[in-house]
């Protein structure tokens, strides 16, 4: 679970915003929430409630993604999940089928334009990248087909 590799060192606080919809919490999640105070790391919370760190990390990840928790000021930031470099071979191969041999250059250029690097490209920016490289495909049908394939690939990650 790349996105939460450092989550045990993150300090959370309760979200200050309203929740977008109704949510249901498991008892284990409640145990975590009762300990969140904007000062303890998740590892400390796990120890306090007698829970193994991996379980606490998974629960906190869910609560964080549901916007129940947010990162406290001064805490280390959760690392963003990066994409396996093999995925870019797939993008480049499919792009080359649609628009020709410059595909690899375009993929590299667009990664750089997003201010990212291939080695640790964040997963949540993949759709941005695909959308940008799609612009180089002039044929509408080919562009749509490329996006369809990439969408399926992103979902499988």
Partner 1 sequence: MATLIKQELTATWSGVRLIRLNEQVGTLLNEIDHVPNVLSACVCDNRGKLLGALVNGAWDAGEFNLAGVAIAQCFAAFQSKTECRDLEFRFEKKWLYARELGNAFVVVFYPPEMNLALLRMTLNVAAATFAADPELQKHLTQVAASKRDTLAHTFLDILGAQLVEQGNLLK
Tell which one of 84, 108, 148, 157 touches partner 1 (CB under 8 A): 148
Question: Which of the stretches 35-43, 88-96, 98-106, 128-136 binds partner 1 when contact is defined by CB under 8 A?
Answer: 128-136
When asked if residue 93 is in the footprint of partner 1 (CB under 8 A), the reply is no
Residue 26 CB, nearest distance to partner 1 (Å)? 17
**Position 51 contacts partner 1 (CB under 8 A):** no
Interface with partner 1, residue 113, by CB under 8 A:
no
Q: Using alpha carbons only, what angle is made at residue 82 by residues 77 and 88, rounded to the nearest 5 degrees? A: 155
Q: Is 66 helix (H, G, I), strand (E, B) or coil?
A: coil
For residues 124, 118, 74, 41, the Cα torsion angle rounded to the nearest 10 degrees is 70
User: Smallest distance from the beta carbon of 23 to partner 1, in angstroms?
Assistant: 10
Establish if 1 lies at the interface with partner 1 (CB under 8 A).
Answer: no
Query: Nearer to partner 1 by C-beta: 38 or 122?
Result: 122
Using a 10 angstrom Cβ sphere, with 0-12 exposed, 13-18 middle and 19 or more buried, the burial of residue 80 is middle
| First vs last C-alpha separation in the chain | 11
Per the structure block, which two tokens stand in for 77? 């930031």
Sign of CA dihedral 118, 121, 125, 126: positive
Chain positions 15 to 34 lying near partner 1, rule: CB under 8 A, are 17-18, 20-22
Q: Does 115 bind partner 1 (CB under 8 A)?
A: no
Sole window of 4-12, 48-56, 75-83, 126-134 interacting with partner 1 (rule: CB under 8 A): 126-134
Of 53, 41, 54, give the one whose Cα is nearest residue 13: 41
Which stretches does DSSP call E strand in 52-140? 69-71
Nearer to partner 1 by C-beta: 79 or 153?
A: 153
Say whether residue 147 binds partner 1 (CB under 8 A).
yes
């Amino acid at each position: 679970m790349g996105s939460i590799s450092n989550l045990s060192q993150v300090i959370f606080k309760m979200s200050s915003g309203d929740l977008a919809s109704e949510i249901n919490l498991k008892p284990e999640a409640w145990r975590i929430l009762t300990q969140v105070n904007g000062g303890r790391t998740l590892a400390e919370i796990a120890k306090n409630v007698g829970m193994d760190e991996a379980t606490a990390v998974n629960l906190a990840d869910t609560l964080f993604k549901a916007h129940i928790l947010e990162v406290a000021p001064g805490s280390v930031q959760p690392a963003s999940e990066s994409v396996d470099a093999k995925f870019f071979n797939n993008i480049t191969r499919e792009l080359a089928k649609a628009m020709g041999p410059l595909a690899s250059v375009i993929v590299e250029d667009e990664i750089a334009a997003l201010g990212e690097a291939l080695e640790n490209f964040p997963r949540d920016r993949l759709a941005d990248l695909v959308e940008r490289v799609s612009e180089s495909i002039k044929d509408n049908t080919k562009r749509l087909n490329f996006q369809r394939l990439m969408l399926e690939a992103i979902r499988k990650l």
